[in-house]
Amino acid sequence: MTAVIVLRATRAAWYKHRFSVAGIPAVFLLGALALFADGVVQRHWLSVHHLSGCLVADDTTGGSRCQSAAWNPSGIPSGPPNVIAVAVLALPVLVGLFAGVPWAAREFESGAFRFTWMQSTGPRQWLLGTFGPLALLATVSAAICGAAAYWWYQIAQWQNGTSIWAWRWSSFELTPLSIAGWTVLAMALALLCGVLIRRVLPAMIAFIVAVGACAYVSQTWLRSWLFGIGMTVKQVGFGTTAGWPSSTTSYVAQSWLQAPSGQRVSGLPVVNNLNAWIAQHHYTSWVAYQPHSHLIWLELARNGILITVAAFAVLASVWWLRVRPAD
């Protein structure tokens, strides 16, 4: 019965907000299309110049041909990559700010929610049926746009002379999964701000503060905390590359020398042949790192946290509607 009512509210939401409902995916998909078209042109150029292999993650720095092409990208059609990356990263916030917050708050501000609540649809069904499809639509659209952006950004990174290093914050955030996660959080916070404050402009300001706080915590604390979980520790050769994880695919957090007693060596003497001195004292070299295979799990964990926060925001909105429905 509830599902039927929610579907009814969804159908009514289409009549009430058809421009937003059509506009959000249109904006995301146009962005995705533009990035995809630009990416195709760039990849065609690389293919013509037999440089396609340079984009394979393990081989971005491999070969002088790739390096020289990357450092001399005059022939590659290019856009401003960082601007575009930031624009894509800002999309969830913009959608939450200009679609999510007004959608929820304007109904209260204008009093129009009373119309819906006085039909056969209750506040919770109204909330789920009206806001749920919008959030879902925005999330799926954002994921598609994110996929195009991630694919497009690989060339931009390589073109800028950097490796395709998925552990960079920009790369980590540009994945379809991350953008979808941020969109879910942004929509949930938009809902909470709209339902709590019930005035469009103050709710928009509160939303910016809330999203800003979440982004700050994520970048300054959450990401580094996650990257420290479940690291692989292994012995590597000192002074050689033997055993060292690939710097282009792994995230090396720490390396150190260890004495035979198991203690970490804090300082090294100034000697002529350090390698020989280390071998003589039976010191070993160790590295703690996140292999590339962990990336997806960390990304999932981070998105799990974002979605959990989003779920709390939605529950808080539903609870607040029950406590203070219309008065």
Partner 1 sequence: MNAIETRGLGKRYRRTWAIRDCDLTVPAGQVTALVGPNGAGKTTLLRMLAGLATPTAGAATVLGAAPGSPRARATVSAIDQTVPLYRHLRVAGQLAAARALNDQWDGDLAVQRLSALGIAASARVGKLSGGQQAQLALTMALARRPRLLLLDEPLASLDPLARQDVLGWLMTCVAEDGLSVVFSSHVIVELERVASYLVVLSAGRVQVAATVDSLLDTHLALTGPSDGVDDLYRQVEIVTAQRAGRQALVLARTCGTPPGWAARRVTMEELVVGYLREPAARVVPEPGLEIVR
Which residues form the interface with partner 1 (CB under 8 A)? 1, 5, 8-9, 11-12, 14-16, 110-122, 322-327
* HEC-encoded secondary structure of 76-89: CCCCCHHHHHHHHH
| Residue whose CB is less far from partner 1, 16 or 292 | 16
Helices (H), 218-327: 223-227, 274-280, 295-323
* Eight-class DSSP state of 241: -
Q: Closer to partner 1 at the Cβ: 228 or 325?
A: 325
Helix (H) or strand (E) run with residue 58 in it: none
Residue among 43 and 198 whose Cβ is closer to partner 1: 198
d(CA 264, CA 237): 16
CB of 127 to partner 1, least distance (A): 14
CB of 119 to partner 1, least distance (A): 4
Do residues 182 and 149 lie in contact, with contact meaning Cβ atoms separated by under 8 Å? no
Cβ nearer to partner 1, comparing 11 with 50: 11
User: % helix / strand / coil in the chain, to the nearest 5?
Assistant: 70, 5, 25
Say how many C-beta atoms besides its own lie within 10 A of residue 288's C-beta: 15
**CA 35 to chain CA centroid, nearest Å:** 17
Smallest gap from residue 19 Cβ to partner 1 (A): 9
Residue 118 or 270 having the CB closest to partner 1 = 118
CB of residue 2 vs partner 1: minimum separation in angstroms? 9
Measured from the CB atom, is 130 or 141 closer to partner 1?
130
Q: Shortest distance, CB of residue 300 to partner 1, whole angstroms?
A: 37
Smallest gap from Cβ 94 to partner 1, in A, equals 21
* Alpha carbon distances (Å) from 325 to 100, 111, 189, 195: 19, 12, 19, 9
